[in-house]
Structure 1
Amino acid sequence: MFLNVGALVRATAAPTDEPTGVTFFKGSWKEALAEAKRQNKPIFLDVFTSWCPPCKRMAKEAFPNAKVGAKFNVHFINYQLDAEKGEGIAIAKQYAVASYPTALYLTPDGGLIHRSVGYGGVNAMIDQADLVLAIPQLKITLAKGDKDFANGKRDPDFLKRYLKARQALHRPTADVLDAYLDALPESERTTPETLSFVADALQSSDTKAFSYLIKNRPSLSTSDLTKQSLARAILATTYRVLNNEFQQACATNDEALLEKVITNSERNTASANPFLVRQDAQKQEAANDYRLRFYRQTKNFVKYRAIAGPIAQNQLMSQSIDTLQRLDSITAIRMKSALVFLPDSLKKIIPIAPDNKPMTNRLISWKVAYSLHEIASTYLVMGASPTDWNPALTWAERAIALYRTPEYVTTYADLLKKLGRTEDALNVQK
C-alpha cells in the first residue's frame, strides 16, 4: 500500500562545537525567502561585487568572526548575492542597490526594513544588528529566549517555555526539544505529560525526541483508555513527521533524506507492533513503496522503472485472482478488529475505512489492483514508447479485473490510445 508517511527541518549549517562565523543560507533567493517565512526570521542580505575592496575586507574580517556569527546566525537568515551575477542583478535592481557592500535587512516576506551601505568594522556590524532588531516591525519575528539558548541556558522550565514560544512563531524546535529531554530529571522523562508534550512538539525523525517517543510509547492494545489515547496521538505524530520529511525529500530531490525516512519509518513500524516480527520481504515492500512514490514525484522514470517493472511483473502479476480472493476473506476478519485501534488522523492517510465494506472485504485484491494501477498510470504518463506502454496495458487490465473503478478503466483506455488502438479505447470508455 502506498501510505503518505515520511525532513522537515533542513539546517543551513552543520552543527559544530567550535565558534563559527556567519552561516549563509545555500540555495536560491526564493528558497531563502521560504526559509525565512518558515522560521519567521528576518533576513540579512549582503549585496556585494567581486571587485569591491570593502566587500573583500568585510568577507575576510567580519563574516568569519565568532561574535558576528553568534549574533547573525541566531537572529537572521543570512544570504549573499553578487550584484553583477545571476539572481543578484535583478534583486539589486529591485532594492535599488547602487553602492557596495550594501546590507539589506528584510522582513520574512522580503519587505525592506533597514539599509546600510559600506563596512565599518566588526563592532559596527554587531551594533547595526542590535539597532535593526530593535525596530518594531522585526520584534515580532524573535522568539523570547533566543539569546539565552544560544548562550547555553538549559534549565528545563526555561526550555519548555522557549519551546512553546518557538512553536507559536512557527520556528524549528528539533534542537530545543532534544535539549529539553536531556535536561529533564530521570523521574519526569517517561510520564504521560512528558510524552504528550514531546509528541506535540516533534518535528523531525532524525532526533533524540523521535527515538524517545517510539521507545516509550504505550501499546495501542492497552485497556487503559488514557494510555490508549496517548498511544494513538504518538502514532499520528510519528506518521505526520515522517510524511512531512518525505515531502521535503521530494521537494529537494534529496535521496539521502529519503533513505533516512525509510529507516525511521521501519523503526516506527517495529515500535508500534513490538510483538510482530517483520520479515525482510515486508521491510523491502515498505521501502519500495517510498522509493516508487519518490521517483514518481521527482519524475525520475529511469529509477522508477528499475524498481516498478519487476514488482509489477514478477510479484503483483504472479498471483492468481482466486488466490487473492481467498486472502481477501482471511484479511477481512483481521482488519475488522485492527481498524478499531487506528486514530482518525491515520484513517485519513490510509485509504481504508470501516464503512467502506467493498474495500475492507477485498483488501488484498484492492491493494494489488491499486499498486498495479499506480505503476501502469505512471508508465502511461512518464513512458516514452510502446516498450513502456505494452506491459502497462497488461497491468492495467489486471487491476480492473481485481477491483474495477472508473479511474482504472480510464487509464486502460488511455494506454490503448497511446498504442494507436483508438477504436478499442473508445469502446472501453463506453
Structure 2
Amino acid sequence: MRNLITIITLLMFSYSAFGQGVNFEHLTFDEALAKAKAENKPIFMDCYTSWCGPCKYMAEKVFTQEKAGEFFNPKFVCVKFDMEKGEGPELAKRFEIKAFPTFFILRPDGSMQHKIVGGGELEDFIARVEKGLNEKTSLDYLNKAYEKGKMNKKQLIAYQIVLNEAYEKSKSEEVSKKLDSILKDKDKLKKEYWPIIKKSSYGSDNFKFVINNLAAFNKNIGKKEVDAFLSGKIHGAIGNASRINPKDPLSVLKQVQEDLSKTDLEDQARLTFTLELALAAQEKDVDKVISLAGQIEHNENNELWGVFNAINSIRANATKEDLKRLLPLEEKFISITPENSKDFVRNYFENLSIATHVGVYFQDLTYEEALKKAKQQQKRLFIDCYTSWCGPCQYMANKVFTQESVGDFFNSNFICLKYDMEKGEGPELGKKFGVRAYPTFVIINPDGSILHKLVGGGEGEQFIGRVKEAFDNEKALGTSIKKYNEGCRDKAFLASYAQTLLGLYDPSAKDVANELFNSLSDEERVSPDYWFIFAKKEFSPKGSAAEKFLLANRAKFNNANGQEVVDLRLSQDLQKQLMEILATKGQAIETSKFDEITKEIKSLKLSNEKSLLGLVAIGRAVKNGNIDRFLTTCEREMPKVKANKRQLNYYLSQLTTRGSDAQKARWNKIAEKYLQQ
C-alpha cells in the first residue's frame, strides 16, 4: 500500500513538473505568498482582463507551450488574476496596474522585484523575465540604484530598457534625457543601446540617428534587424498618415519619402508602392490611385487593404466612369486574398458596381437572401411592390428610378429590391407587408421589422423626401406601430397614426380612428383638430357612431368648420351614387331608387341641395332614354349642378351619339356652356 502511494505521488509530481505549459495555480494572493515562502520561490503573477487581446494571446499561444512550462514551473509559484473580478481590483490598486497584460515577479514577502507590461513571443518574453530574476538587473534594484545616483552609462541604458518594458513612461523619459546628455554617438551605435532605439517612434531623434548612420548600424547590429526596425517604423508612419483625420499627413508622407530615399531596405519596393499609394490618396489623385491599384500583384502585409483605403479616400472625387475602371480588378484581388476575406472583396466590388450604376440598382435576390445581406451589411431594404398592369408602377420604374440623383440616394442608403406582387414570392410578401394598393414601397430594418411604408409614387426629389420620413422617428411607420402596440393612446398620436394607416389603405385605420373618437369629449369632437374623423367616410361610415354624432351636432360642426364643408361631407355618398348612376346610364337601379335619394337629400337640408336634386333629375332622364327629354333636363338643371365637369361630360356625351345632328348640336352647346369651363 505504501509503495502504491509513493508511485501515485511520483506520478503526480511528474505530471506537474513535466506537463505541458505553465502551471497557473488556483490560489488566493495570500495562499500564493505562503506557498512561495514555504518553497523559497518568487511568485510569477499574470494580471489580465477577459477582453484584452494580448492577454488571450499569452494565455492561449505562449503559456501553453512546453518550453514555457519547463522555464516557469520549476522557478516560480505561478498565479493569475482577472483584474476585474475577485481579488483583481484590489491587486490592481495595490500594484498600480495601468495596462494589460502586466506581469510581476514578487518576492515571498509580497514586495515587487520586477514588472513587465505587454506580452510577446516566448523566447523574447523569457529573456525579459530573466532580467527580473537577476536581482541586479531587476526593476526594483535599478530603481533604488538610480535614486542613489550611482549609475554608470551601461547601467543607465539597462535601466531605461527595463523601464520601457515596464511601461514606466515618465521615469523612462527622465532617464532618456539624462542619457542624451552623457552619451556620445559612438555609444548609441553599440549593441547595448539598440533595445532603446528599437522602442523609438518614427521621426524621433533615435530614428533619425539610425537613418543617418545606416552603414554603422548595419555592421554593428546586422542589416536584417536594422531593416526590420526601419521597415516597421516607416510602414507604421504611412499607416498612421492614412487614417481618419491624421495630423498634417502630407508633411509626414513627404518626410517618409525623403527617409526612404536614403535607405536600401529588403522590402524597399513594397514600401515605395505603399507610400506612393498613400500620397496619391492624400492628394486625391484619382488617376494615380486607380493606376496603382491595378499594379498590385500580391497581398503581403495586407497591402490590399491599403489599396481599398486609398480607393475609399478618392471615392467622393471619382466619377462613375472612374470607378468603372476598377471593376475589372475584382478577379485579381480575389485571387490574392485569403479565403476568409474573399467575401469581403466580393462585397466591396459589388458596392463599387452599385456606385457606378445610373439609377436605382435593384438586386435580384429572394427576400431571405436580401434579409441575410441586410444583417451582414447593417443596411435597410427598400422594396418596390408592383404589378405589371399598374400605370404608376411603370412610371416609377421608367421615369423616376432611372434618374441618377434618385439612384445615388437609394443605392447609398438601401439594398434595393422589387417584386411583382402577382408572381413568384410576390403574393406571399404582399400579405406579409399588408400591400393593398400599387405601387407600395416598404422599408425593412436589418432585423426584418417594418420601418416604413409608402403608397403611390411621385417625382424624384419629392419621392426622396417621402422616403426620408423613414429616418425620422416621429414619422416612421415602424415607430408608430411599436408605440401603439406598447399601449400609447395619446390623442395627437392616435390622430396621426389613423391618418397614416388610411393613406396605406390599412383596414385597421378605422379601428384606431374609432378608439380616438371614443376617447374624445363632445367638445373635442366638434373641434377642427378632429374634423378628419368625420371628413373621411372611412372613419365615419353610414350608420356609425361618428356619423350619428355628426348628424346630431350639425350646428356645432357648422360653426367650427363651416357649413359648406360639413354639407359637402354629408353629400359625398349621395353624389357618388348619382355619378355612378350616370356612368351606367341608370341601368343598374330601379326607378324607385331616385325617390329614396330625393327623400334623403331633402331630409338633410343641405346647402348644395339644388345641385344634388339637379343630378337626380338628369339621372331620371338618362334612365328614361328619351334624348329630347334628356337634353331639356340638362338645359334646365345643369346650371345648378356642382360636380366633376370632366366626368359629367364623359358620362353624358355618349347618350347623344345615336341622336340626330340637331340633337348633337344641342348637346354640344350644353357641354360647351356648362362642362368645358
- Structure with more relative contact order (C-alpha pairs < 8 Å, separation 6 or more): 1
TM-score under structure 1 length normalisation? 0.37
TM-score under structure 2 length normalisation? 0.26
Structure of greater Rg: 2
